[in-house]
Structure 1
Amino acid sequence: MYYFLTILIDTGAGFFSMFPFLILLEILARKEIPYIPLKHLIGDGIFCFFLSAILALTGVPSFYEMRLPSGWNVAPFQSILADPIQSLGKILLFLPMGFLLPLLFRKYQKPSRCLLYGLSFSLTVEIWQLFSFRSMSVDDLLLNMLGMAAGFGLFSLWRLLWPPTAEVMSLSDQTLSSLPAMLELESGFLTAAACAGALFMTSAVRGWIWRIFL
């Protein structure tokens, strides 16, 4: 029970830590992007929550907790075979991301783009972990990419079975054509906000939440 409470608090702290950066993005973008459908904004919120969950569960350090790199494991399949349950967890961790990206952003409906995003984000997390008590692992990259591929596969199956619903939370081509080109970078802005929150604010917000519970 305590473990799940810790996960919930860490994820919530990461999610709320994004808000100042999301508000800043909103202020900067409002003049250029006057209107975005509510259903897409709700999807953005879900996407941000899962970004926060990944950063919380992988234990990336804040700016104030960083220390010298601890090391890396470049030999593949060692930890996968040693702990299959943990390996399954690392696959499931990135599965929602592989599903949400093409659901929210049409440019990621190409598998190569979706997997490239997953690789970039997973690699960022692994390098980030070097500056904590954790180490970088090739196995983690492989498992995270497998999770992304599984999530994209689920989206593709959903789009095949129920085509209209697969586009319900993404911006239509007509909407995209009427909005500035900077909206193409929306997923990057949201990812940057999640990383900035984890780097500078999550540690403090986590402490405040724990004080409320204790």
Structure 2
Amino acid sequence: MNEFILKSYELLTVLLPAAAVLFLLRKAYASKRLSLPPGHFLWLVLFAAYIGAIFYLTGAGTVYHISLYGLEIRSAQVNLLPFSREVDFAAYLQNILLFLPLGMLLPLIWPSLRRLSFTVLSGFSLSLLIEASQLLNNRRTDVDDLILNTLGALLGYCLFLLLRPALRRIKYQSAGLFKSEPFLYTGALFLGHFLLFNEFGLARLLYHF
């Protein structure tokens, strides 16, 4: 039960900023005498849940880790030489698959930014944010993860292009009226998790230590 509460809390730190951005988007659309399409709203909720899953699976760092580990960066914690360690095909595949949905969701949700360069840069930027945050929680920050995550986003975009004829038959509603929307939205999700997720604080309350 406690484990469920911790996972729900982590997801909530992503969904709360998502809700705030969606509220602002509704107002922005209304100011242009438009309504936020229900389909677009649902895709954004799905995107937020997916990003939350990425943060959980990668162990993204938060501001609260500073009080636990300080700001000291240990050389053994950082790998800047691509593929200089023993090859781990299972880990490589996991890193690629983790960002594969990102490469598909970005062009699907935001058609106005349906470009390979945008998708690859977005995958690279999100992975870089996560790897940088891991400097705070004593996890390994690895350039291999950065490369493989970016590759996953690229392959996801290619998969989207392959499935595009089939996706046209799906009556989904998407919009993306503002070109800055994906940047603001993803940034808000990251900041929400970074500033609101205090895993050890809640664990102390749940386990009384």
TM-score tier after normalising by the smaller chain length = 0.7 to 0.9
Give, as a single letter, the amino acid of the residue that structure 1 aligns with 2:80: V
> 2: distance between equivalents of 1:201 and 1:135?
22
For 2:139, which of 109, 134, 141 is the aligned residue? 134
Matching of residues 7-26 of structure 1 within 5 Å: 12-26=8-22
Equivalent in the alignment of 2:28: 32
Equivalent in the alignment of 2:82: 76
Deviation string, structure 1 residues 70-108 (Cα, Å, up to 9, x no partner): 3421111134x5321111111111011111000100133
> 2: distance between equivalents of 1:207 and 1:137?
28
> 1: distance between equivalents of 2:54 and 2:157?
17
Instruction: Tell me by how many angstroms 1:11 deviates.
Output: 5.6
Pair 1:155 & 2:160 matched: yes
Instruction: Tell me by how many angstroms 1:116 deviates.
Output: 0.8
Q: Is the 8 A contact 1:11 1:52 kept in 2?
A: no
Change (3 A) 1:28 1:103: closer
Q: Is the 8 A contact 1:103 1:169 kept in 2?
A: no
Greater shift in the superposed pair: 59-68 or 21-30: 21-30
Gapped regions of structure 2 (runs ≥ 5) = none
Pair 1:112 & 2:117 matched: yes
The aligned length equals 195
> 2: distance between equivalents of 1:10 and 1:59?
13
Instruction: Tell me by how many angstroms 1:171 deviates.
Output: 1.7
> 2: distance between equivalents of 1:44 and 1:205?
29
Change (3 A) 1:147 1:135: same
Pair 1:164 & 2:168 matched: yes
Gapped regions of structure 1 (runs ≥ 5) = 177-182
Cα RMSD of the aligned pairs, angstroms, is 2.8
> 2: distance between equivalents of 1:96 and 1:135?
24
Give, as a single letter, the amino acid of the residue that structure 1 aligns with 2:137: S
Change (3 A) 1:167 1:184: farther
Q: Is the 8 A contact 1:97 1:151 kept in 2?
A: yes
Matching of residues 183-198 of structure 1 within 5 Å: 183-198=178-193
> 1: distance between equivalents of 2:53 and 2:130?
12
Identity of aligned residues (%): 30
Equivalent in the alignment of 2:47: 47
Secondary structure of 1:184's counterpart equals coil
